Amino acid sequence: MVVVTVNVNELHFVIDFLSPFRVSTGQPAAGVDATIDTDDALPATSLKGVMRATAKHVLGEEADLVGAVFGDAKQPCPWHWGDAVPTGGLWGRPQVTARVRIDAASHTATRDMLALTEETTAARAEFVLTRMAPVTDIELHAAVLAMVARATRSLGAARRRGLGWVSITCPDVTLDRAAVEKVLAWRSV
């Protein structure tokens, strides 16, 4: 059974950061190839995207439940994602890091392939999902969102290189074995 302990129109999530992260703006700046937005370092679009990717990984690419919760060509998303807001109000000061491309044959740095990128961090941040449309089974939606939040282990760029490791929880939803099994029953083969 899923227990939603607060208002079913909003779900609150808490992100604990285990490493720095980078969600790039797509714009360079003086001396930096990839910058971050210091006012909105972790936008709603990135949160929704990483949670949708996790849902597809857990439930399968073709699972109808992913479309019902996150929206698809057949139906709009019934949830509005809010941007992450760091506890204390400010993201960490951007740090510039360097990376190089290594030539596979010579095992040396490839000429002209040094990239300087910004990253930031916070101890903790929060974001809110607001229900914008009716759903047929609010407890199922809440369970899916809480489960995929827990299953999301990293976000942003360079996740396979140690950036963006996180733990995400939804204190509004208590999951038990029956709730998890109900969600997993929707897996596509």
Instruction: Band the pLDDT of 23: cuts 50, 70, 90.
Output: confident
pLDDT for 116 equals 86
pLDDT digits (tens, 9 = 90+) for 111-136: 777 888 888 899 999 999 999 998 98
pTM beyond 0.85: yes
For residues 104 and 111, is the Cβ–Cβ distance under 8 A?
no
Instruction: Band the pLDDT of 4: cuts 50, 70, 90.
Output: low
- CATH number (3.30.70, 1.20.272, 3.40.50, 1.10.10) of 3-21+41-90+122-184 reads 3.30.70
pLDDT of 50 higher than 60: yes
Distances (CA, A) of 61 to 56, 78, 92, 124, 153: 5, 19, 35, 30, 19
pLDDT for 125 equals 96
> Residue 152 burial (CB < 10 Å; 0-12/13-18/19+)?
buried
Checking 100-108 for CB contacts under 8 A at 24+ apart, the result is none
